[in-house]
Amino acid sequence: MAQSAGDVIVVRGNGGLDGEVCIGGAKNSVLKLMAACLLAEGRHVLANVPDISDVSVMCELLEAMGVSITRTDHCLVIDVPAEINTEAPYHLVERMRASIVVLGPLLARFGAARVALPGGDDFGPRPIDMHLRALESLGATFRTSHGDISGTAEALTGAEIVLEYPSVGATENVLMAAVRAKGRTRIVNPAREPEIGDLVSFLNQMGAKARWAGNGLAIEGVEQLSPAGQHASSPRSTAGGIGTSARTEVGGTPADGDGYRVISDRIETATYLAAVGMCGGSVFLRHAVGDHMTMLIRKLTEMGMHIVADAEGIRATATQRLTSADVATLPYPGLATDYKPFLVAMLTTASGVGIVTENIFTGRFRYIDELRRMGADIRTEGHHAVVRGAERLSGAPVRAHDIRAGAALVVAGLAAEGETEVAGATHIDRGYDDLTGKLAGLGAIITRR
């Protein structure tokens, strides 16, 4: 297939990185906050919105439903009308499977939703059985026809919902439905990612009554919600999953009242941490929240990086070749599966051998063939990879198959000898706001063509 213009990132190894980079709002939070806006008629304002293509797709999806959106300089003004079209068409859901999170809000507010079923992807199968079972516990019924899932709910009623696995999407969908259900809902074993904490804060600003309680989420349904992000006097939120401490710059309404501020992207942060780890140097990651990525910081410290987090951000320094470590992905607060491509890239040039175990998405090893093309010594066996560190990778033409894998190939290219061409850069655009420009600002030799 012919490559579209601008679909290739060209990067050349150039030694250490130095300077400061600003971390943007979290992709995996903002998409859910946008869906949550469907819960209330009126004008919602979101700030610290990353300029990424997944946000554009979510805008298209909401607009197809009749929502009006104005997007200016990292801000979204979202006007939700009284009546909307409750259908999410395949051509949009197919481009972004996170679209499925409109299901809960639509059922809660309109009692009906028709959403195209997302297919599998490069990670393997991506079922939504837990989303549906949890929503059924609140009283929704579903039927599948012609590739769409249609849900109806005369009235949602609070219930105890036990998630057998802490699925991020299922937690979000049922949380957004439960805030408007009649009575009390308890979600046992919910996902605890910081982005879930941000959604809880956002919903509470809309008037919901949701809180962390013991090993779950307790929600008292309310009849009406109102738009968030416009109340200058609202208390600042303390978003973050269970076990994260209150900080001032995490999600919430800024003091000037110009929108609900989306929390910082911990996966974008991990990308720059990996770049410093592989290339060496010292970089300040402004707005990065150390409390949201404690396990990763511990792992990178074990590998030889020096990382200090404070209220302004994270300073990361690497002065020597990293040492290998074993890595296993787990739901939060464990090491996120989204960090894994970066950790694998780092291990390819660390001294020693690291064993990487993927416990979330069985198919998430596809980029390893691309790293091998750069000289990486990696053997995979089921959901394990054994990575033997080489002194240096060598630049090569490679292809990005998904957002994080693509960014990891760019990071690997920064530390490789010679030139690396990463094709499929539009995958990277789904989740990165100016990766090329930000890395160039740190001294990397990187262009897009």
Q: Which residues are designated catalytic?
A: 121
**Which span (43-51, 222-230, 334-342, 378-386) binds ligand EPU, by CB under 6 A?**
334-342
DSSP 8-state symbol, 227: -
Tell me, what amino acid is at 98?
A
CB of 100 to ligand EPU, least distance (A): 8
CB of 127 to ligand EPU, least distance (A): 4
If one asks whether residue 340 binds ligand EPU (CB under 6 A), the answer comes out as: no
CA angle at 186 for the pair 181 and 188, rounded to the nearest 5°: 140
User: What is the DSSP secondary-structure string of 235-296?
Assistant: PPP---STTPPP-SSSSB--TT-S-EEPPB-HHHHHHHHHHHHHH-EEEEEET--GGGGHHH
Report the distance separating Cα 290 and Cα 295, nearest Å: 10
Report the distance separating Cα 202 and Cα 154, nearest Å: 26
If one asks whether residue 335 binds ligand EPU (CB under 6 A), the answer comes out as: no
If one asks whether residue 127 binds ligand EPU (CB under 6 A), the answer comes out as: yes
Contacts of ligand EPU in 141-200 (CB under 6 A):
165, 167-170, 191
Residue 445 structure tokens: 């030799």
How many binding residues for ligand EPU (CB under 6 A)?
24
If one asks whether residue 341 binds ligand EPU (CB under 6 A), the answer comes out as: no
Judged by CB under 6 A, which of 299, 404, 427, 448 binds ligand EPU?
404
Site string for ligand EPU, 22-61 (x = CB under 6 A): -----xx--x------------------------------
Query: Which lies closer to ligand EPU via its Cβ, residue 260 or residue 361?
Result: 361
CB of 167 to ligand EPU, least distance (A): 3
Closest residue to ligand EPU in the complex (CB): 169
Judged by CB under 6 A, which of 8, 40, 45, 98 binds ligand EPU?
98
Contact 77, 43 (CB under 8 A): yes
Contacts of ligand EPU in 356-375 (CB under 6 A):
360-361
Longest dimension (CA), the chain: 63
Query: Which lies closer to ligand EPU via its Cβ, residue 322 or residue 435?
Result: 435
Helix, strand, coil abundance in the chain, percent, nearest 5: 30, 30, 40
Q: Given CA atoms 194, 428, 49, 181 in this order, what sign does their dihedral have?
A: negative
CB of 39 to ligand EPU, least distance (A): 18
**Which span (42-50, 128-136, 230-238, 282-290) binds ligand EPU, by CB under 6 A?**
128-136
DSSP 8-state symbol, 41: S
If one asks whether residue 309 binds ligand EPU (CB under 6 A), the answer comes out as: no
Query: Which lies closer to ligand EPU via its Cβ, residue 404 or residue 438?
Result: 404
CB of 410 to ligand EPU, least distance (A): 15
CB of 445 to ligand EPU, least distance (A): 26
| Strand 42-47 versus strand 260-261 pairing type | parallel
If one asks whether residue 403 binds ligand EPU (CB under 6 A), the answer comes out as: yes
**Which span (7-15, 61-69, 125-133, 365-373) binds ligand EPU, by CB under 6 A?**
125-133
Report the distance separating Cα 185 and Cα 299, nearest Å: 36
Report the distance separating Cα 30 and Cα 4, nearest Å: 27
- Based on the number of CB atoms within 10 Å of its own CB, is 78 exposed (0-12), middle (13-18) or buried (19 or more)? buried
Judged by CB under 6 A, which of 41, 249, 268, 338 binds ligand EPU?
338
User: What is the DSSP secondary-structure string of 127-176?
Assistant: --HHHHHHHHHTT-EEEEETTEEEEE-SS-B--EEE-SS--HHHHHHHHH
Residue 372 structure tokens: 């091998």
Query: Which lies closer to ligand EPU via its Cβ, residue 261 or residue 364?
Result: 364
Q: Residues in the site for ligand EPU, rule: CB under 6 A? A: 27-28, 31, 98, 126-131, 165, 167-170, 191, 336-338, 360-361, 403-404, 431
